[in-house]
């Protein structure tokens, strides 16, 4: 349920003093909670803003663009929560139209650092990792069950481990048990199609890209990247490939076995072909290459815009991403 609200004046004061190069040195300090490939999540150390995870999205050119996005974002959350039955954290949003760059903030209840699945992963046994993978697949199945029922609306979702929080996870006694309760976090890319037409303007994905790369990204990658989130097998492949990024390749075979058993039993109605280790490895290598190159080019763009053109750069970039 949409229930989080913040004082817009406090948030505006934060944003006006925000330093994308050094968020922790902003006028109101911010601590990075996690990097996505396009946006960044952080917490803000200010009265009335603590306990909330903020995703800052400076990708809009006008207030009208933000308004359209906000409508689609709200509908996506409603579909996931009320129609599909995923557990969503308390959430909200805030649009700042009178700052240096128009900025949209997504607000979510902040979970403990250790409870995010890709971090909890490192405290689990191999058997528990398989339990976690199956729990994520069960949540994802709810999306494809909905898609099978509703031919007029198709919902896409990103199943990566970093997009799930484990409810009640205790890092001191990290025993998952046989049933795992998960909350889905990644609602900032509201992908759903109505009668085959994408509701989200996918050109927004390109706003954070260097201008000299936009044409090739539009030509080669955007359609493929978006389409994968509507393909259950590819979403599951991406989920398993995440284990390589988390430096846990030893758990890939077990995760594949768990996924294949799930598709052969609980999700047999979808007729999904088995996943093999070679395809997961190939998928990950290609994905890692694309995003590593993308980050490198964004750093070049940041240098040009801040040091040469002096136009400012609104995005927060990680210095390195371990892959």
Q: So what's the pLDDT on residue 323?
A: 61
Domain contains 82: yes
Provide DSSP, 263-308: HHTTTGGG-PPPP-HHHHHHHHHHHHHHHHHHHHHHHHHHHIIIII
Q: Is residue 209 part of a domain?
A: yes
Q: Which residue has the tokens 């989130």?
A: 229
User: Is 3 inside any structural domain?
Assistant: no
Between 203 and 247, the higher pLDDT residue: 247
- Measured between alpha carbons, how far is 258 from 244 in angstroms, rounded to an integer? 16
* Residue 322's pLDDT band (cuts 50, 70, 90): low
Beta bridge partners of 2: 91
Given 109, 144, 177, which residue is the final one in a domain? 109
Q: Is residue 321 part of a domain?
A: no
**What is the per-residue burial (b if ≥16 Cβ within 10 Å, else e) of 66-92?**
bebbbebbeebbebbbeebebebbebb
Question: Residue 320 falls within a domain, yes or no?
Answer: no
Does residue 38 form part of some domain? yes
Q: Are residues 146 and 194 in the same domain?
A: yes
Domain identity same for 78 and 142: no
With 90 as the cut, is the pLDDT of residue 263 above it?
yes
Where are the strands (E) in the chain, listed by range? Answer: 30-35, 40-44, 52-57, 91-96, 103-109, 153-155, 164-166, 182-184, 192-194, 197-198
> Tokens 């650092």 map to which residue?
113
Domain boundary among 80, 109, 138: 109
The dihedral through the CA atoms of 116, 122, 127, 128 has a sign that is negative
Residue 195 and residue 79 share a domain: no
Q: In terms of domains, do 158 and 185 share one?
A: yes
Per-residue pLDDT of 297-320, as tens digits, reads 888 888 888 888 888 888 887 766
**Three-state SS for 107?**
strand
pTM > 0.95: no
Any idea of the CA torsion for 323, 156, 215, 289, to the nearest 10 degrees? Answer: 10
Residue 99 lies in a domain: yes
pLDDT number for residue 37: 62
What are 198's two structure tokens? 């994408």
Residue 217 shares a structural domain with residue 300: yes
Q: Is the pLDDT of residue 233 over 80?
A: yes
Please report, for the domain that includes residue 99, its CATH number.
3.30.200
User: What is the domain range of residue 75?
Assistant: 8-109
- Residue 80 DSSP code: I
Asked if pLDDT for residue 92 goes beyond 90, the answer is yes
Q: How far does Cα 64 stand from its chain's mean position? A: 24
Q: Provide the phi-psi class of 237: left if phi over 0, else alpha when psi is between -120 and 50, else beta.
A: alpha
| Whether 34 and 55 share a structural domain | yes
Residue 221 pLDDT? 65
Number of domain units in the chain: 2
The lowest-confidence range among 108-112, 205-209, 295-299, 301-305 is 205-209
Predicted confidence (pLDDT) per residue in 4-31, tens digit: 889 899 999 999 998 888 888 899 989 9
101 and 241 fall within a common domain: no
Do residue 95 and residue 200 come from a single domain? Answer: no
Predicted local confidence at residue 182, as pLDDT: 96
* Residue 199 in this model has a pLDDT that exceeds 80: yes
Helix axes 232-245, 126-149, angle to 10 degrees: 150
pLDDT at 111: 93
Domain finish residue from 109, 134, 160: 109
Determine the pLDDT at residue 293: 78
Is 117 in the same domain as 102?
no
- Residue 87 belongs to a domain: yes
């Amino acid at each position: 349920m949409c229930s989080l609200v913040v004082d817009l004046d406090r948030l505006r004061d934060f944003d006006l003093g925000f330093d994308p190069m050094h968020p922790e040195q902003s006028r109101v300090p911010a601590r990075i909670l996690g990097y996505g490939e396009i946006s960044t999540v952080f917490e803000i150390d200010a009265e009335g803003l603590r306990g909330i995870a903020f995703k800052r999205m400076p990708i809009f050119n006008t207030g009208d663009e933000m308004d359209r996005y906000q409508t689609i974002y709200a509908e996506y959350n409603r579909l996931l929560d009320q129609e599909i039955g995923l557990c969503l954290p308390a959430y909200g949003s805030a649009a700042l139209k009178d700052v240096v760059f128009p900025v949209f903030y997504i607000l979510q209840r902040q979970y403990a650092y250790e409870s995010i699945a890709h971090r909890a992963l490192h405290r689990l046994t191999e058997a528990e990792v398989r339990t976690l993978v199956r729990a994520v697949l069960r949540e994802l199945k709810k999306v494809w069950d909905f898609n099978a029922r509703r031919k007029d609306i198709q919902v896409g979702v990103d199943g990566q481990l970093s997009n799930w929080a484990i409810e009640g996870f205790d890092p001191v006694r990290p025993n998952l048990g046989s049933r795992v309760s998960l909350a889905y976090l990644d609602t900032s890319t509201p992908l759903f199609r109505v009668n085959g037409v994408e509701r989200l303007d996918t050109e927004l994905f390109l706003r954070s890209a260097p201008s000299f790369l936009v044409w090739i990204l539009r030509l080669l990658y955007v359609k493929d990247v978006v389409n994968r989130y509507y393909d259950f097998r590819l979403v599951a492949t991406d989920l398993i490939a995440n284990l390589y990024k988390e430096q846990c390749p030893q758990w890939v075979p077990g995760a594949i076995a768990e996924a294949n058993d799930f598709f052969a039993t609980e999700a047999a109605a979808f007729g999904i072909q088995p996943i093999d280790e070679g395809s997961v490895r190939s998928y990950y290598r290609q994905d890692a290459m694309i995003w590593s190159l993308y980050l490198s080019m964004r750093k070049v763009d940041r240098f040009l815009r801040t040091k040469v053109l002096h136009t400012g750069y609104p995005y927060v970039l990680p210095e390195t991403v371990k892959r």
